[in-house]
Structure 1
Amino acid sequence: MKKKIALLGEYTPTFKPHIFTTTAIQHSCSLLSIDIDGDWVSTDDISDSLFDIYSGIWVAPGSPYKSMEKTLWAIQYARENGIPCFGTCGGFQHFIIEYARNILGFEDAQHAEYDPYASKLFISQLDCSLAGREMTLNFIAESQIATIYGALNAVERYYCNFGVNPEFIPLLKSNSLNITGSDSEGEVRVIELPSHPFFIGTLFVPQAQSTPEAPHPLVTAFLKAVFNY
């Protein structure tokens, strides 16, 4: 039976990160000689049957989503059940919220894009927008991300205006979630769960760098995990 992944987000055909997401899957499938379909699923349409249909989820850029709660449920289910789960840009941000609520116990953990006046803003507006910028990243040695890249640094592109609130970074570091990538300013840009087959979130948009000649290694690693799930 053909494997499928759910691309969770509000698909906009003119939004470049969404175009890049679809084409990056094609690039990596071609490299791996596998056939995996990526279906766009509105977050408002997420249901209990999601994982009866899909072998992995990619929480895509383009928040705010129509349903934060359904998105967080899907992330939690994938995290707890070892289902490959990839989050880029807005997806990364929602990984943080899900983890803060369900692992760290902050039931009121919030995202500034949804509620800018919440008291527990784990995701806050960046002082300087990263939209359209390319920046150098540094990876922790022997982390999953470093292994996938085969390097300790890379240059990646961003499309976001929100990131991890520095106030809560010590809490995030104190538990099982690993912060394994940062930019030249030391800000959190990659998170991963090392005990999980594939649970990686990036604030940057790796799919933007994928080409037919050089599929992005992160997308390729995610699709490998889906294929082997």
Structure 2
Amino acid sequence: MTYAPARLALVGDRSPAVRAHTRIPGLLDALARRERLVLDAYWVPTEDAEQPGALDGFDAIWLVPGSPYRSEAGALTAVRTARERGVPFLGTCGGFQYAMVEYARHVCGLGGVEHAEVHPDAADPLIVPLSCSLVGHETVVTAVPGTLAERVLGTDRTVVRYHCAYGLGTAHLEVLAAHGLRFSGHDESGEVRMAELPDHPFFLATLFQPELAGDGTEPHPVVRALAAAAALPVG
């Protein structure tokens, strides 16, 4: 099958020191060569993302790792734009964390929740320090049957790689779920590692970093799924 090129916004503060940022271009090239899934990618700094119209016209938005972001407002704007407009969205690592904050604030009415990495003394942290840092770790994630996560991964259990020290706290899980967010992947201790919006065309957030899988030459199923959601078949 042949696909028309799609425009992808890579929202994040690009840096050669962030391994994910150096990996992503090669993964997109591999998708184009091997599967004809062409993503015309543009890096959008978080400071730019918060400006009106900055994300107009994109077929997909990927909030990439690299938190704390230079503009928290820009990161939240990227999530909200994709969520409200039905634009395919992927958030990985920091992107997962801010997808949770955006949803809590703007859908669940939890306007006071914060990210503890940026606001360590916050009265109501939603994103909290992990009891054990996952920087450089690989663990098993189990996907909930029947979810987008399971369909994308192609299995109910897989080994994933992390580079983070913060995750979703438990204080507001029931509120988030009651407002439509689905926790679709968990680690072996039951902690949330994937989340999605069932009523959205494609909205997936992973605390792990699929862009760090393998040697960087084979796109992870999560990355391929974003590309497939953004691209339109032709011919």
TM-score w.r.t. length of structure 2: 0.92
- Partners of 1:52 and 1:188 lie apart in 2 by 31
Which runs of no fewer than 5 residues in structure 2 stay unpaired? none
**1:150 maps onto 2:177 in alignment:** no
Paired amino acid for 2:203:
F
- Partners of 1:212 and 1:163 lie apart in 2 by 25
**1:78 maps onto 2:77 in alignment:** no
Deviates more, 1:46-55 or 1:8-17: 46-55
Deviates more, 1:68-77 or 1:217-226: 68-77
Shift of residue 208, structure 1, vs aligned partner = 0.8
**Does the Cα contact within 8 Å between 1:58 and 1:87 map onto a contact in 2?**
yes
Q: CA RMSD in A?
A: 1.7
**1:12 maps onto 2:24 in alignment:** no
* Partner of residue 198, structure 1: 202
Name the CA shift for 1:75/1:32 in 2 (closer, same or farther; >3 Å).
same
Instruction: Spell out structure 1 runs of 4+ moving beyond 4 A.
Output: 210-213
- Partners of 2:195 and 2:165 lie apart in 1 by 18
Question: Which secondary structure state, in structure 2, belongs to the residue aligned with residue 52 of structure 1?
Answer: coil
* Partner of residue 230, structure 2: 226
| Equivalent residue pairs, number | 229
- Partners of 2:231 and 2:215 lie apart in 1 by 21
Question: Which secondary structure state, in structure 1, belongs to the residue aligned with residue 231 of structure 2?
Answer: helix
Paired amino acid for 1:8:
V
Which runs of no fewer than 5 residues in structure 1 stay unpaired? none
* Partner of residue 35, structure 1: 38
- Partners of 2:226 and 2:214 lie apart in 1 by 14
**1:59 maps onto 2:63 in alignment:** yes
- Partners of 1:68 and 1:14 lie apart in 2 by 20
Question: Which secondary structure state, in structure 2, belongs to the residue aligned with residue 127 of structure 1?
Answer: coil
* Partner of residue 90, structure 1: 94
